[in-house]
Every structure is written in structure tokens, then in C-alpha cells.
Amino acid sequence: MPPLESALAIESVRLDDANSAIILLDQTLIPVETKYLTLTTQEQVWEAIYELRVRGAPAIGIAAGFGLYLAAKNIAAGLSAGAGFDAFYPLFVKAKEYLASSRPTAVNLFWALDRLDACAKQNAHLPLADMISALRAEAVAIKDEDEQMCKSMGEYGLTLLKPGMGLLTHCNPGTLATARYGTATAPMYLGQERGYDFKVFADETRPLLQGGRLTTFELQSAGIDVTVICDNMASIVMKNGWVHAALVGCDRVAANGDFANKIGTSGVAILAKHYNIPFYVFAPTSTIDLNCATGDDIHIELRNPDEIKTKWYARPMVPQDVKAYNPAFDVTDHSLVTAIVTENGIAYPPFSESLPRMMSPK
């Protein structure tokens, strides 16, 4: 694999409209290989989201937006000349529902699909070709807005940090998971540009090792001092005084500030509370679900037990017939959260009051 100047140069999801395709970096192969996939069917887009070839809530939303736009483009092309919205829309909804079934937890998936649905309805009076152009513009806007949101979160997040700090993160809240900069990694990248000299500890993050495979790959390529640790080592690095703040991303934030992130995040938050370390959540407003009252209302995805038992090993590491519990996410209680950083500002407790204020630009 050729060396990269910086992971910020990577475009993990992009639209190839001329060939009616999505070009997508297969994150399951990093760091061994950087391979781009060309997705031209709805089944391929669904599989890429489900199998975590594209992952991270914002990147999933971007891929879903492009996927539904391409579905709309193909639906319109398959209709008879002169066909209108009434013939188009039922097929469009079917494609939307199919893509929505790929992952149940990341709210950005549904948010992006709903944005395109709303766009289709708003332009229902137009000829189909013009409505398809509007859908394309909306899908591209989702990606462009995400890059700006991540940059803004980075600026706000940097105000919470000081040069030379030791930071701990969990899973991959990075540029691979977004349009650019990442969520919780955004202040790390901006700090690197400004000489903050952060020292980052990246949990390997079981069961898919996204911290070990992806976060370290990103940060090292950008010249950031990063050390990978196993998930059960977070306590000792905190106790040693090497961690001054914990920064994580998320897949869904409830109205009370409870949030879902990759499995193991809740444990990090509990440890940070014990060691009196601030715990910051980075959440674009597209990830905040005010219709979800508490974390109890967040559906937690269960994945294939083989991801624990065999996936990363040449030979099975546990008895073949033993039961395995493999949730993809856990929910961290809002009482453990110091602040939630959004693109519109920093929300502090009580989150039931501060999060609604974050939903619109100041």
C-alpha cells in the first residue's frame, strides 16, 4: 500500500454520476490494502453499508444519499416517456425502504434518505428529469455540508483542549467515517496543523478493530502521535495520567443526551468519570434525534458472532459451539457526558435544554 501524506486526502465516498456509480473505499481492508469499489446496484450499496465497507454515521448517510439518487435516476430511466411522479414515487419509496433496512442504529442513514424523500415531494410538480437533478443536488449537498460541519466541530472542540494534551478515542470517528476531518478527530487534525502536539491513545475497539485498523491508520498518516491500546487497557493509561480528555463520535444522540456509539464506549465513559477526565461527544446535528427520548429507545444492532470467534484469526480462538453475544453498539448515559460538541456550538447539561438550541445555526 503506498504511503499517504495525510488521510485528509482520502475521499472515502464519492459520486461517479457519468457512470451511475458510487466509488467507495472498502474500509474492511484497511490498513493492509486501500481498494476502491464501484457500486452500481442497490444491492451493492446495501451490502456495503451492512458489511461496514462504508461505516461511520456521516459516511453512511452520504452513501445512502448517493445510493437513493442513483436509484431514482434508474427508476426514471426505466419508465415510459411522459410518465410522471405518480408512476415514479412508489418505486422510489421501495428503494428508500430497502436501503433503510441495511443498518438500524445510525440515524444519519434515515436522515439522508428522508432528505431525498422530502426533496422528491417538493419537486413533484416538475418533469422527472428536473426532479432527478434536484435529487442529485441534494445528495451532493449532504456530503458538502458534512465536511463543513466536521470542520466546525473541530474548531469548537479545539477550544476545550490545550497543547500537549493526551487524548483517548474509541472506534473510528475520523475522516474515513465522514466527508473530511471526522467528528472527534477533527480537533486532532486542526491541532496538528497548529502545533498542539497532541498524543492520542486509540482503543483497538472490538469486535471489528476499527480503532486499531482505521483510526491509527488515519492519524499516523497525518503525522499525529498515536498509540494503539487494547480496549481493556484504557483504565491503566488513564490512571497513569497520560489521558487528559476522552473524545468520541456517535451514531445517535437521544433528546436527554444518552447516545449510542461503538460497543465499549460506555465503559470508557465510566472510566473517565472515575478518573475525573472530561468526556466529550462529537455529534453533527444530523446525528441528534430529538424524537428519541432516551437511550432506551435506541435499537442496538446485533452482529454475526463469528466477528468475535473467527474473523481476525487464522484459526478459531474460542470453542466452535460456544455462544457469543456481539452487539455493535452500547448506550452511554448522559450523566457521564461532559459536553456534546456540534457544528453549531457546544451543548452542556442539562442536554434536554441545550440540544434543541444546537439544532439551528446561531
How remote is the C-alpha of 59 from its chain's centroid?
Answer: 6
251 catalytic per annotation: yes
- Relative to beta strand 259-262, strand 225-229 is unpaired
Q: What grid cell was written down for 205?
A: 475497539
**Distance between CA atoms of 305 and 311, rounded to whole angstroms?**
9
Rounded CA-CA distance 321/311 in Å is: 15
- Nearest in space to 102 (alpha carbons), one of 284, 272, 328, 349: 328
Q: Is 52 left (phi over 0), alpha (psi -120 to 50) or beta?
A: left
Output the CA–CA distances (angstroms, integers) from residue 131 to 88, 119, 125, 127, 323, in the order listed. Answer: 11, 8, 8, 6, 50
User: What contacts 314, CB < 8 A, 6 or more positions away?
Assistant: none
Compute and round to an integer the Cα radius of gyration of the chain: 20
> Which of 117, 146, 251, 258 is labelled catalytic?
251
d(CA 338, CA 349) in angstroms, rounded, equals 8
Active site residues: 251
